[in-house]
Structure formats: structure tokens, C-alpha cells
Amino acid sequence: MKWEFINHMDKIYALLGELEEKDRENGLERDYPLSWERVHAASCAQIGRLLAQKRGVDIELAALACSIHDIGRWYTGRQKDHALYGEEPVRKFLASYSLEEKDKEEITQAVIHHSEKDMIGSPIEEIVKDADILDCYLHGDKITKPYHVARLEKIMEELGI
Ligand SMILES: [Fe+2]
């Protein structure tokens, strides 16, 4: 089959590059290095595409939501409450996209709520949470919280991996 791809990553790499410049000026110490943010953004987007294809969700909206889900942490450098801190920057980021308002809102809500992995959200929100967990697992993170393990097992069964 043929997939229609949109390259969301150029904008994201440009933003992360700007933040890297700022870090050099102000010496921000981050909970996660920007090198991880780059990798995680790109690989979550790819996992998001696969999950979206399987679930009949818009592939590019899912990829975009997955790629920017940690935008709050990109700005603050902090893991604590980073999903909530994502609201303002994600709205700003999406302002330049010619998407329908309801799609922008769904992506924004997915960013805000992506840490609530014990809750079930919209289809895009679920893809963001699932891609996040699977990507961390595939990068060798220890998945220990019972609701994270349960989510991971479900995704792996869905994907037959
Ligand atoms: Fe996150």
C-alpha cells in the first residue's frame, strides 16, 4: 500500500536546535538530554504511524501528536508535570499548521494527558501513550508500574511482537 507522508520532523528538529542554543547560553541542566528528545520524538512518531494504521486513525495526525508529546519537557527541561507544561507550547507550535481546530485540540489534549497512562483517552491520546511506552521499552527502559506493564503487553499483543 502507499502511504502519504508529511515530514513533521524538520520543524521539530529546528525547534530542538533552537532550545539547544538557548541551553548553551543559560546552562540549563535537563532531566533528559535533547539528544534523547530528538530520538524519542522521531521513533514515537514512527510507532504512532503503525498504531494509527492498525486502528484506522489518521496516520499523520497521530505521528504529529506522538512527535511533540514531550514538548513541555523540551521547554522546562523537567520531567515533573511536563505533560501539563506542554499545553502552551503545543498550542503555539500547532498555530502554524493548517489543520482543523478540532484536530489541533485533539493533539493538544493528547499532549496534556499523555502521562495519565492508567486512563483511556481519545484514539490519538491512546496512540501517544502507547507509542511512548513501547518506545521507552524498545530503548531498554525498565517498565515497572503495573498499568504501564499492562499497557505494554496489550500493545505488543496487538502488534504481534
Ligand atoms: Fe512524556
- Residue 67 belongs to a domain: yes
Residues surrounding ion ligand 1 at CB below 5 Å: 70
DSSP symbols for 93-112: HHTTS---HHHHHHHHHHHH
The count of structural domains within the chain is 1
Instruction: Check residue 80 and report its DSSP letter.
Output: T
Widest CA span in the chain: 48
Total-model pTM: 0.96
Residue 3: predicted pLDDT? 73
The whole-angstrom separation of Cα 150 and Cα 157 is 11
4, part of any domain: no
Distance from Cα 88 to the centre of ligand 1, integer Å? 15
pLDDT digits (tens, 9 = 90+) for 103-136: 999 999 999 999 999 999 999 999 999 999 999 9
Range of the structural domain that residue 89 is part of:
9-159
pLDDT tens, position by position, 65-84: 999 999 999 999 999 999 99
Q: How far apart are CA 76 and CA 86, in angstroms?
A: 9
Residue 83 CA, ligand 1 centroid: distance in Å: 6
